Amino acid sequence: MNATNHLLRTAGAGGDLASLAGYRAGGGFKGLRKALLMSPGDAVETVKKASLRGRGGAGFPAGMKWSFVPPPDGAGDRYLVVNADEGEPGTFKDRHILSRDPFRLIEGCVIAAWAARLTRGFIYVRGEFRQIIRDLERALEAARRAGYLGSRVLGKDFSFDLHVHPGAGAYICGEESALLESIEGKPGRPRLKPPFPAVRGLFGRPTVINNVETLALVPLVFELGPEAFLGLGAERDGGPKLYGVSGHVKRPGLYEFPMGKNLRELIYEDCGGILGDRALKGVIPGGSSCPILLPGEIDLPLTFDSVARAGSMMGTAGAIVIAEGTCMVQVALRIARFYAHESCGQCTPCREGCGWMARTLARIEAGSGQPEHLDLLLELCDQIQGHTICALGDAAAMPVRALVKKYREEFIRHIAEGRCPAASP
Amino acid sequence: MVLEFTPEAQARIREIVLRYPTREAALIPVLYLAQDEFGSLSTEAMELVARQLELPLARVLGTATFYTMLRKQPVGRFHLEVCRNVSCYLRGSDGLLETLTRVLGIAPGETTGDGLFTLDTVECLAACGSGPALQVNGEFHENMTPAALEQLIARLREDGTA
């Protein structure tokens, strides 16, 4: 499968894409001009036909999401919210788009606003991206001055303005309703659904929330046309995809392929294989919440549906590769400790359960584990998953359960010997 | 002590408030401004934000205490934040932490006696493909090695004491 260069490119025909002049000279805003020739309804249909699925992890069809917003009622603003709170461990794709190709994101936002008839937008950028926040504010100002944002966008009877809103170090704000709470100035605690954000979202108004990569692909849908965009992908997944690979490979980093890149090929060919030519121990395919795959399970195309059939999730397509010699108790501990730290605390199973899992794993790691701890961990996973308002609890339970089940012998030895049988990391 | 925002910060606040239909929505951006201006969010700084946005102090406290990047305690001149999550761990983040605790003589969560360095561990910084990673005052340092880190600390120490 040949690499594509739609999202990874950093320079176009006109030079640096991070400048408005460079972006325009490289063909930027062509998609927007095409979209503005269509009715909003036709623009939504175009994105549906392209089968652009949400790149934030859930894979929900973007066009479908846009069509859930009720028609304008004249009672106030309708919002676009860009989820740029990239924080799922193993994920580092949106940071690339935000810093290297910001106008493509802005163009995608304006098209989304036209299609779903939205009037204002916020790009919620995680607080740790300080430089990106500053640069993005300048890019938005440049786009505003050039008539791509503000009142009467490109002379059309259509107004849309877009601002940056900074996050402040809470992973939970990547959950869409917690993100809305955070923009409203409150602690990021997820809301009960329904009502869904499309109907009652930011400030109680209709709201579309999309991931950075999803919106950055929208201009391409209109440039190529929906058939060609769909044709680039595989199965029910249209378009190209950014794949991140981290951990024990020779060439970690971001790769772009048509949707459906084979995971084994990605690791052994594109990334050059395992660091130090060690044996492979496991791959977490799409961010830390995805159940780990054993070496025998990775010969599969990376699409939302195919990874789900293999018992895991494609998630954000940020694969973490783990070589033989790594302590899986440590890996589980790092994951559990992360989710325990990031639990917002409003649901008891998640607040208490994640901490309990992390403490139990810490005891095993420290050599004071007991044989019954393994069943306790699995029991905790069952008590957390499905019993909370948002998916953070599930995100903690799924990887821990998979690690305990798939590497059970190692966990048992770790407990029996009171130390790690592997030389880590 | 009663704190005040500078006229420049006040102009910036007026601009921020206009973006939102509620004053409360300006809270996080304005808390950042206060933090930048006063170094950390002391009770006085949070009282100032509450006055400025005409919000109850409890609302300001509720939000300020939820978010880790809104700091209630001052940090040293150089704030070192080392990622300890899985991808960076696999690439040797424990070695970076050992180097820092040895060279600086402090544990995570502490500040050196001269007020130059604060060391913290953080969760994923979205730099997994170029780990191990850390931030110094919000600036990324990626593909770090213990040796490169020792050089970085020496350079910062020079800058800080010059």
**ipTM for the predicted complex:** 0.97
Dist CA B22 CA A165 (whole Å): 14
Q: How far apart are the C-alpha atoms of B115 and A211, rounded to whole Å?
A: 40
Contact A288 B86 (CB under 8 A): yes
Cβ neighbors of A112 (< 8 A, separation 6 or more) are A66, A80, A118, A208, A210, A215, A218
Q: What is the CATH number of domain B7-64?
A: 1.10.10
Predicted pLDDT at A111: 98
Which residues of chain B lie closer than 8 angstroms to A186, CB-CB?
24, 62-63
Q: Which of A120, A322, A334, A392 to mutate to test the interface with B (most CBs of B within 10 A)?
A: A334
Per-residue confidence band for A424, with pLDDT thresholds at 50, 70 and 90: low
Q: What's the pLDDT band for A181 if we cut at 50, 70, 90? A: very high
Residue with tokens 């919002």: A79
Pick one of 3.10.20.600, 3.40.50.720, 3.90.1150.10, 2.30.30.40 as the CATH number of A240-323. Answer: 3.10.20.600
Contact residues, chain B, for A331 at CB < 8 Å: 86, 89
Chain B residues within 8 angstroms (CB to CB) of chain A: 19-22, 24-29, 31-32, 59, 62-63, 66-70, 84-87, 89-92, 94, 122-131, 135, 138-139
- Give B86's contacts in chain A (Cβ within 8 Å): 89-90, 247, 284, 288, 320, 331, 334-335
According to the model, what pLDDT value does residue A369 have?
Answer: 96
**How far apart are the C-alpha atoms of A92 and A287, rounded to whole Å?**
10
**Mean predicted confidence (pLDDT) in A319-341:** 97
pLDDT at A106 over 90: yes
> How close is the nearest chain A Cα to the Cα of B105, in Å?
24
Closest residue on chain B to A320 (Cα): B87
CATH of B78-161, one of 2.40.50.220, 3.40.30.10, 3.40.1350.10, 3.30.2290.10: 3.40.30.10
What mean pLDDT do residues A199-223 have? 98
pLDDT at A29 over 90: yes
The CA distance from A142 to A404, in Å, is 51
CA distance A288 to chain B (A): 8
pLDDT of A425: 62
Average pLDDT over residues A133-155: 97
HEC states along chain A? CCCCCCCCCCEECCEECCCHHHHHHCCCCHHHHHHHCCCHHHHHHHHHHHCCECCCCCCCEHHHHHHCCCCCCCCCCCEEEEEECCCCCCCCCHHHHHHHCHHHHHHHHHHHHHHHCCCEEEEEECCCCHHHHHHHHHHHHHHHHCCCCECCHHHCCCCEEEEEEECCCCHHHHCHHHHHHHHCCCCCCCCCCCCCCCCCCHHHCCEEEEEHHHHHHHHHHHHHCHHHHHHHCECCECCEEEEEEEECECCCEEEEEECCCEHHHHHHHHCCCEHHHCCEEEEEECECCCCCECHHHCCCECCHHHHHHCCCCCCCCEEEEEECCCCHHHHHHHHHHHHHHHCCCCCHHHHHHHHHHHHHHHHHHCCCCCCCHHHHHHHHHHHHCCCCCCCHHHHHHHHHHHHHHHCHHHHHHHHHHCCCCCCCC
Quick check: B62 and A187 CB within 8 A?
Answer: yes
Cross-chain Cβ contact A253/B129 below 8 Å: yes
Nearest CA in chain B to A338: B123
Q: Chain A residues with CB inside 8 Å of B91's CB?
A: 246-247, 252, 425
Can you tell me the mean pLDDT for A384-411?
97
Substitution target in A80, A124, A128 with the highest count of B β-carbons within 10 Å is A128
What residue spans in chain B does CATH classification 3.40.30.10 cover?
A: 78-161
Q: How many contacts, defined by CB atoms under 8 Å, are there between A and B?
A: 148
Q: Considering Cα of A12, then A134, then A255, then A252, what sign does the dihedral take?
A: positive
Q: Are A65 and A207 in contact (CB under 8 A)?
A: no
CB contact under 8 A, B128 and A163: no
* A322 → chain B, closest CA residue: B90
Report pLDDT digits (tens) over B111-131. Answer: 999 999 999 999 999 999 999
Contact between A330 and B90 using a beta-carbon 8 Å cutoff: no
CB contacts, 8 Å: B20 with chain A: 203
Q: Is the pLDDT of residue A354 over 70?
A: yes
Predicted pLDDT of residue A16: 87
The C-alpha of A246 sits at a distance from chain B's nearest C-alpha, in angstroms, of: 5
Of A92, A331, A344, the CB nearest to B126: A92
Is CATH 1.20.1440.230 correct for A328-417? yes
**pLDDT computed for residue A10 by the predictor:** 76
What's the half-sphere exposure (Cβ side, CA atoms, 13 Å) at A309? 9
Q: Which amino acid is at B136?
A: V
What's the whole-model pTM score? 0.97
Q: How far is B19 from chain A (nearest CA, A)?
A: 8
pLDDT value of position A9: 84
Residues of A in contact with B22 (CB under 8 A): 184-185, 203
CATH 1.10.10 domain range(s) in chain B: 7-64
What pLDDT sits at residue B90?
A: 97
- Is residue A273 predicted with pLDDT exceeding 90? yes
Query: Length of chain A, please?
Result: 425
In this prediction, residues A62-75 reach a mean pLDDT of: 95
Q: How confident is the model at residue A423 (pLDDT cuts 50, 70, 90)?
A: low
- Domain borders along chain A are 11-232, 240-323, 328-417
Spelled out in words, what is the top-level CATH class assigned to the domain A11-232? alpha beta
Ranges of chain B whose pLDDT falls below 70? none
**pLDDT at A333 (0 to 100):** 98
Q: Chain B residue with minimal CA distance to A329?
A: B86
Tell me what the pLDDT averaged over chain A comes to: 96
